[in-house]
């Protein structure tokens, strides 16, 4: 397994497309008793996970416009969109200091039975995980898929974000699609990563934003009544570059930093069946 993943990783330095809005292709419909799935939500055209009563974890490129109001839907069935009791509103989002990660604030507490924990340590190479996603290709129910954890790489900020992301490799012909962006990757019942980008070759390879280095930021944010002060927009990054703009809906086209790693050319969104 390790040799196989290493070999695949060595050949993946190609164009990737940020997970904007597609569905888990060939994914499996989740079952009613799936405790992890209960925390997965739709947020605009992306996927997210409830990590506190009023906070949803998702991908940064899904909520780049921080003060935009977005609809959030709980439940594992698409019929949830017709049930007003399952609809919530996110009034703003906070962007993580590094990586393709963000937290969206919800105006009223989300009625979710199981709120998963954030993984404090790295997911080990070769470990199996489960990713969830809502997307254009997803059927009537939320979809999930099994992935194998590969090597770690830089985050969106380049070399200053060592191990900010890691590769994942879908099993059994599944792959990400538009709408799966922001979907949680569970390892041993904890959220280890956020779906960030897929590879244009369609070989099932996915880039996940790692959470192990953001654990304290996430806990500090969701553990208090954070007051959001609207920043000047666009916000400058530490390297002096401007953050890419994103239209409402989460279909952002990210530009890859000029470094020797896979270049982003679009976004993921969903897991379709």
Strand pairing category for 190-199 and 117-118: parallel
Cut 0.95: pTM above it? no
CATH number for the domain spanning 72: value is 2.40.10.120
Neighbours of 159 (CB within 10 A): 13
What is the Cα–Cα distance from 175 to 25, expressed in whole angstroms?
5
Q: What confidence tens digit (pLDDT) does each residue in 83-95 have?
A: 999 999 999 999 9
Extract the tokens encoding 225: 């009544």
Split at pLDDT 50, 70, 90, the class of 39 is: very high
What is the Cα–Cα distance from 100 to 154, expressed in whole angstroms?
11
| 80 occurs within a structural domain | yes
> Is residue 37 pLDDT above 60, yes or no?
yes
Q: How far is CA 198 from the centre of its chain?
A: 11
| 266 occurs within a structural domain | no
Domain count, the chain: 1
| 137 occurs within a structural domain | yes
Contact (Cβ atoms closer than 8 angstroms) between residue 39 and residue 53: no
In 3D, which of 120, 151, 147 has the Cα closest to residue 27?
Answer: 147
DSSP class of residue 78 equals G
> Which phi-psi region, left, alpha or beta, contains residue 26 (left: φ > 0; alpha: ψ -120 to 50)?
left
Q: What confidence tens digit (pLDDT) does each residue in 190-233 have?
A: 999 999 987 666 667 889 999 999 999 999 999 865 555 554 44
| 188 occurs within a structural domain | yes
| 35 occurs within a structural domain | yes
> Is residue 271 pLDDT above 60, yes or no?
no
> Which phi-psi region, left, alpha or beta, contains residue 189 (left: φ > 0; alpha: ψ -120 to 50)?
left
What is the Cα–Cα distance from 21 to 180, expressed in whole angstroms?
6
| 249 occurs within a structural domain | no
| 245 occurs within a structural domain | no
| 66 occurs within a structural domain | yes
By residue range, what is the domain housing residue 191?
Answer: 2-222
């Amino acid at each position: 397994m390790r040799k196989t993943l290493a070999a695949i990783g060595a050949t993946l330095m190609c164009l990737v497309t940020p997970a904007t809005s597609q569905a888990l292709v060939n994914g499996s419909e989740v079952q009613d008793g799936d405790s992890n799935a209960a925390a997965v939500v739709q947020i605009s055209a992306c996927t997210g996970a409830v990590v506190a009563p009023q906070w949803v974890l998702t991908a940064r490129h899904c909520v780049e416009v921080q003060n935009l109001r977005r609809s959030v839907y709980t439940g594992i069935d698409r019929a949830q969109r017709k049930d007003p009791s399952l609809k919530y509103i996110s009034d703003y989002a906070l962007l993580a200091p590094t990586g393709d990660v963000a937290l969206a604030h919800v105006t009223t507490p989300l009625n979710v039975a199981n709120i998963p924990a954030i993984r404090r340590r790295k997911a080990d190479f070769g470990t199996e995980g489960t990713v969830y996603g809502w997307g254009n290709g997803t059927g009537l129910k939320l979809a999930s898929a099994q992935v194998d954890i590969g090597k770690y790489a830089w985050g969106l900020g380049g070399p200053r974000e060592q191990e900010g992301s890691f590769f994942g490799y879908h099993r059994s012909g599944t792959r990400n699609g538009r709408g799966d962006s922001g979907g949680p990757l569970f390892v041993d019942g904890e959220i280890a990563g956020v779906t960030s980008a897929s590879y244009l070759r369609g070989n099932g390879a996915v880039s996940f934003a790692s959470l192990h280095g953001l654990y304290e930021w996430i806990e500090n944010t969701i553990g208090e009544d954070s007051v959001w002060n609207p920043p000047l927009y666009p916000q400058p990054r530490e390297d002096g570059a401007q953050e890419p703009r994103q239209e409402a809906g989460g279909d952002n086209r990210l530009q890859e930093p000029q470094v020797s790693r896979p270049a982003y050319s679009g976004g993921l969104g969903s897991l379709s069946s």
